[in-house]
Amino acid sequence: MSIAMKESLAAEVKDHPAYSPGLEGVIAGESALCLVDEGEAGLLYRGYPIRDLAEDGTFEEVAYLLLFGHLPNQKALQDFSAQLIDQAVLPRLLDVFLGAVPLGAHPMDIVRTGVSLLGMVDPDAADHSRDANVRKSIRLLAQLPLMVATSHRLVNGKPRVRPRENLSFTENLLYLLTDRKGDDQAKAMARVLDTSLTLYAEHEFNASTFAARVTASTMTDLHSAVTSAIGTLKGPLHGGANEAVAEMFIEIGSREQAEAWVREALTKKQRVMGFGHRVLKKGDARSAIIQQHAESLSRICGDHRWYEIATAVDHIMQEEKGLRPNLDFYTAVAYLLMAIPRTLYTPVFVCSRIIGWCAHVIEQQDYNRLMRPRAFYTGPARREYVPLDRRT
């Protein structure tokens, strides 16, 4: 590019708002759903501190809060839980699709396509009203665990199972994925899994949520917006971190091997998964919560290997790089102890974040303005068109 062209472009920049690569730090909208703050406020869901919700509430309460704007009373929660059991049914079209999924299909591709298909046969498919979107959201929340588990079971030659009416949403999710239910370890696992779902449920304008809101801003249907979010989450720069952390722990193998493994990775400039966050530069408050539960579950299960590897890696990364773990890091310890199939870690994330996405879609369309940002042009200056027969 010539000096004159660069000067021309520089002059144009003065007439444009500041450009931020990746929209980092850019305020792109308003939301009453979640406050992500590194200060005293911490992480709030509709004003409630995340630690209070994770320690004293349940994921079903959090899902209700995000969807309706307030915590449920006992009767409202009972009705909501009953709806989740009642709506945990896959339509015939989904059964046909899941039975035809090719071996080796990526689980997130199955979830993405499955949600799109559900949008075609949802009873409220033609109704885009707010009330209809709330009903669709509840159905999606109920259907996703069954979709994820059924597809995995069919691919692996295991029999289908149905959610049980005497189990909570999270107890059913654990049962569908691992066949665990009822015993003391299963109850402890379900409690830790419930905490992780609460912590994953919502996190402001992350990539997948923003994709859902951009899609929703066209006033399309809720399932289309959620499909956009799932496709975005599949990308390795956004989703899959807890899977990668678990694979790292397995590769390390033991606490004794952790220091050498991490130092070699750092020497080779390889990324150590589970550290750092695009927004939370000073650490992720959710990490401390799930770490406590991972340690407790390790004691209950009598298996300390994964937690010991994790704490060793954590110590070295803080010592060498000044980096603290994010939510995915100790969540991987908990999911390894639960024996959740590693390829399903991100689909399990979807089973939680689906309620955040749906709440954002509803909020976007309640106060909608089509999202249409601008791009800073860096191509050539104006050029004259030369007819084909005169080009050399």
Contacts of 19 (CB under 8 A, 6+ apart): 13, 376
- The predicted structure's pLDDT at residue 30: 94
**Total count of domains within the chain:** 2
CB atoms within 10 A of CB 252: 22
Residues 225, 209 share a domain: yes
In a domain, 298, yes or no: yes
Residues 101, 175 share a domain: yes
Residue type, 353: R
By CB atoms closer than 10 A (0-12, 13-18, 19+), residue 367 is: exposed
Catalytic residue among 203, 293, 328, 360: 328
Residues 222, 100 share a domain: yes
Residues 361, 288 share a domain: no
70 carries an active-site annotation: no
Residue type, 290: I
In a domain, 11, yes or no: no
Residues 218, 274 share a domain: no
Structural domain harbouring 42:
34-181+201-234+350-366
Residues 157, 66 share a domain: yes
Domain end point (choices 318, 338, 358): 338
- The predicted structure's pLDDT at residue 238: 86
In a domain, 65, yes or no: yes
Which CATH number characterizes residue 359's domain?
1.10.580.10
In SS3 terms, 6-31 reads as: HHHHHHHHCCCCCCCHHHCCCCCCCC
Report the alpha-carbon distance of residue 336 to residue 371 in Å, rounded: 40
In a domain, 187, yes or no: no
Domain end point (choices 338, 358, 376): 338
223 carries an active-site annotation: no
Residues 98, 218 share a domain: yes
Residues 143, 122 share a domain: yes
Residues 207, 265 share a domain: no
By residue count, the chain amounts to 392
In a domain, 146, yes or no: yes
Residues 228, 300 share a domain: no
- The predicted structure's pLDDT at residue 9: 47
Question: Chain-centre distance of CA 379, in angstroms?
Answer: 36
- The predicted structure's pLDDT at residue 278: 63
Residues 306, 225 share a domain: no
In a domain, 345, yes or no: no
In a domain, 167, yes or no: yes
In a domain, 5, yes or no: no
Catalytic residue among 152, 277, 293, 360: 277
Rounded to 10 degrees, the C-alpha dihedral 173/177/179/185 comes to: -70
Report the alpha-carbon distance of residue 67 to residue 46 in Å, rounded: 10
Residues 315, 261 share a domain: yes
pLDDT means per 10 residues, the chain with 392 residues, are 51 63 84 84 90 97 98 98 96 94 92 97 96 98 97 90 94 96 94 98 96 98 98 91 95 96 94 78 84 98 98 95 93 98 96 98 97 91 95 92
Which CATH number characterizes residue 326's domain?
1.10.230.10
Taking each helix axis from N to C terminus, what angle separates 74-86 and 169-178, rounded to the nearest 10 degrees? 30
Residue type, 18: A
**8 Å CB contact between 4 and 12:** no
